[in-house]
Chains A and B, each alone.
Chain A
Amino acid sequence: MADRIVVTALGILSALGQGLPDHAQALQNNIHGLDHPQFLKTIHAPEFIMGEVKKSNDELATALHLPVGDNGYTRTTLLALTAMQQLLDQIETSLLQKETFAFINANTVGGMCSVEDMYFDFISEKKEGYFVKYIDTLDCAESTENVVRYFGLKPHVATISTACSSSANALILGARMIKHGLVERAICGGCDAMSRFTVNGFLSLKNVDKFPCKPFDQNRNGLNLGEGAGYLLLEKESDAKARGATILAYFSGYANSNDAYHPTAPSPDGEGAFRTMKQALDAAHLQANEISYINAHGTATANNDAAEGKAIQRLFGNTVPFSSTKPFTGHTLAAAGSIEAVFSILAMQQQIIFPNLNFETQMEELEISPVTCLQTNIPIHHVISNSFGFGGNNVSLIFSKG
């Protein structure tokens, strides 16, 4: 049997807090992280709730021993650094010095959170000032490069941007690079800070809920945006065992498939979601009924939940419990895939299924409904986690206990 890919370290940061214990605590006690944003300076702040990380840029910078103020680090990068620091604290630093490894990051708008406040300075020909040190943050690779520089790493780098499935794709790439022998290990995940650009983008699409989002509910009214970062260390099972590492989970299957239906909307019958989940099951050599829990994409937009719900019903019937954790964190976009990968692992570790908060009314077009209360002492062997993005970019990941 081919060497399996395992997860041996992780870092996570979201509106729920920092690190695995914070997240376990919140998820087990129905404590969501949504509120009116304190740090994002948008006119929509009093009206909309969002999943903002509860730390200012200066607080994040101080914890990272960086100067406060206009230090050239965007919030996107600060979130990435904070989550990466947790991951690196779990491994011997020498591990990343000796062997080839990859750092595969994912991101949707780079340092837009900083750029948007300075853009007219950027483009005014004569203007100079502190903003110049933020100019290279305009692109998506800025957080990747800054993480590498801050920690003094020399990895193979890559940055992926496929909207809401970005970091799920980063995990797939890492596993594939290891399987091809291009690297020994890969740190994979994503980061996104909320920006006015993104908030207004989703608002212009009219799919944002002012109130706590209600995934898979008949009266769902759109998503809540969020921010955060999540990273997972992947390596071969044999390498992990050889160094005595604790195996947190097996990364047993994955699939990336495109809807080829519409630039932003999923195929209404859920064909794309169905195909992606089915391909991931096939890749993991699992039957649908062997999955213990589905961590749904579940954005609470009308389109996504109808398509994903139909696909789940068609593939799994009503036998496999499912929920969306987006009402806890908000939709963290490029970070969502890796954050929810961490939640999938947490579900296995703690033998729990997270509730789909705010669910009240059964969807008319579905016969299935999500888990609404925390379920404990549930043996969980395999979890499938979905991330579906604009451009029809669908990804399903499967994590297994052993």
Chain B
Amino acid sequence: MMNPVFILSACAISPQLSFDVDKFLNPIITTDDGKLFAAEPDYRQFINPVAIRRMSRQLKMGIACGMRALQLADVSMPDSIITGTGLGSMTDMEHFLKDMITLEEEALNPTFFIQSTYNSVNGWLALQTKSTGYNQTYVHRGFSIELSLLDAQMFLNETPTSKIALVGSFDELTNDYFVVKSKCDYWKESVPNSLKLLSYNHTDGTIAGEGAAFFALTNKPKPLSCALLGLKLLNLPSSYDFTQEIQEFLSQHGVDLKDIDVAILGKNGDASFEYLYDPVVAAFDVETNVLAFKHLTGEYPTASGFALWIAVQLRHWNQIPEPLILKSGTRPKRNILVINHYILHTASLMLLHQQ
């Protein structure tokens, strides 16, 4: 089995006030229209202002988030840059595609085409940090950030010397995307206030969201760093014994469901996915802290990046924001399990340990 890797820093741009703030998810941002857009930071500290003007929202979010994660870890040049995105830059893709159709394939602006490339954030981060190391981009729906983390764990296990991997994810919500996926019944027809999403779990569908999350990972433990012990990616047939899979994963790491201090669940208010989480929650210790987050971020393929960001923040703030809590417990916050299900029948598990 691979050795754990250690999270030196975490940075998130999300619909919440998560970027460089002096409070932990306070105040909470809500919406009534079923779309949670990110609260964007001032990008000028992270990106050349001349370049900013041509960049799409997602490119800016990804670059700024990645650069800030490196700053927080006091790293100027990572040894590798690995990212995941389910959707890539929707804005650039839409722009180029609509122009192509309406202009009938003539006189198109290449900027949107270039920026629609899924690894454009990676390329820019390499450019800005002068990092010529290993550089990879995963684009597999609800597995995108997980595959990036798995790759980083492999990368950091491939060398005895101290290395830094910058790992991150980004997905962007657009109004077009919202319409497109409404035809696949992704979203709730009757939309509650986002903060009430999880108690509105008697109807199908969820609300839409977006965000970026970046982490500096290393193979050498540092004091107080959060360890990523392992992760597992699961394809879910309908009658799957989800709880048993989780137990098997935990036992490989010498942990039992009863040892989990904090569980962070990817519940998204969709009635059709509740069955997955219920038996797992029942199997935890009565004093396990059970948290959820998609009422704060909305659903998107790399939402588990935000869950990982929360996991890292728990130690920093030494408290759990009230709106995250599904079930409060008295246990310390050492063994953290992230369980995320994404709409297209994938689920992922991440096991973390706060030293």
- A residues lining the B interface (CB < 8 Å): 42-44, 107-108, 112, 115-116, 119-120, 122-125, 128, 132, 135-136, 138-141, 144-145, 154, 156-163, 169, 173, 176-177, 180, 182, 196-197, 200-206, 256-264, 272, 275, 389-393
> In whole angstroms, what is the CA distance A158 to B335 when docked?
28
Which residue of B is nearest A124, CB measured?
A: B179
Q: Let me know if B96 is at the binding interface, CB within 8 A.
A: yes
Given B2, B105, B122, B184, which contacts A391 in the complex, CB threshold below 8 Å?
B122
A159 near B138 with CB under 8 A, answer yes
Q: Of residues B109, B117, B344, which shows the largest number of chain A Cβ atoms within 10 Å of its Cβ?
A: B117
Please determine whether A169 and B140 come into contact, CB atoms closer than 8 angstroms: no
Among candidates B130, B140, B158, residue contacting A157 with C-beta atoms closer than 8 Å? B140
Question: Which 8 interchain pairs have the tightest Cβ spacing?
Answer: A391-B123, A201-B113, A161-B118, A204-B110, A140-B139, A258-B135, A258-B126, A159-B140
Interchain CB contact under 8 A, A393 and B122: yes
Chain B 105-132, CB within 8 Å of chain A: the 1/0 string?
Answer: 1101110011011111011101101111
Size class of B's contact patch? Answer: 35 or more
Are the CB atoms of B113 and A158 closer together than 8 Å? no
Q: Which residue of A lies closest to B99 (CB)?
A: A200
Per DSSP, chain A at the interface is mixed
Q: Give the residues in chain B near A272, CB-CB below 8 Å.
A: 132
Please give the distance in Å from B66's CB to the nearest CB on chain A.
13
Complex CA distance for A43 and B141, rounded to whole angstroms: 33
Q: Which one of B87, B119, B132, B179 lies within 8 Å of A390 (CB-CB)?
A: B119
User: Roughly how many angstroms separate A200 CA and B109 CA in the complex, as a whole number?
Assistant: 10
Closest Cβ of chain A: how far from B173's Cβ, in Å? 14
- Output the residue of A107, A275, A390 with the most chain B CB within 10 A: A390
* Chain A residues, Cβ within 8 Å of B100: 116, 196-197, 200
Residues of chain A contacted by B181 (CB below 8 angstroms): 135
A138 engages B132 (CB within 8 Å): no
Is the C-beta of B168 less than 8 angstroms from some C-beta in chain A?
A: no
Indicate if B235 sits at the interface (CB-CB under 8 A): yes
Supposing A196-B105, A260-B129 touch, asked if A390 and B136 sit within 8 A by C-beta, the answer is: no
Task: Say whether, besides A177-B154, A260-B127, A392 and B180 are in contact (CB < 8 Å).
Answer: no
Bitwise, B122-160 to A at CB < 8 A (1) or not (0) is 111011011111111111110100010011001001100
Hey, which chain A residues are within 8 Å of B209, CB to CB?
none
A204–B130 Cα distance when bound, in Å, is 28
Contacts of B118 in A (CB 8 A): 108, 140, 161-163
22 A-B interface contacts by CB (under 8 A)? A42-B105, A112-B97, A120-B101, A124-B179, A135-B180, A141-B86, A141-B139, A161-B138, A163-B117, A196-B100, A197-B113, A200-B108, A201-B110, A204-B113, A205-B110, A206-B110, A257-B132, A258-B135, A264-B114, A275-B132, A391-B137, A392-B127
Choice from A108, A122, A154 contacting B179 with Cβ under 8 Å = A122
Contacts of B184 in A (CB 8 A): 132, 135-136
Query: How many Å lie between the Cα of A392 and that of B134 in the bound state?
Result: 11
- In the complex, A14 Cα to B180 Cα: how many Å? 32
CB-CB under 8 A from B81, the residues of chain A are 258
Residue in A144, A161, A173 whose CB lies within 8 Å of B119: A161
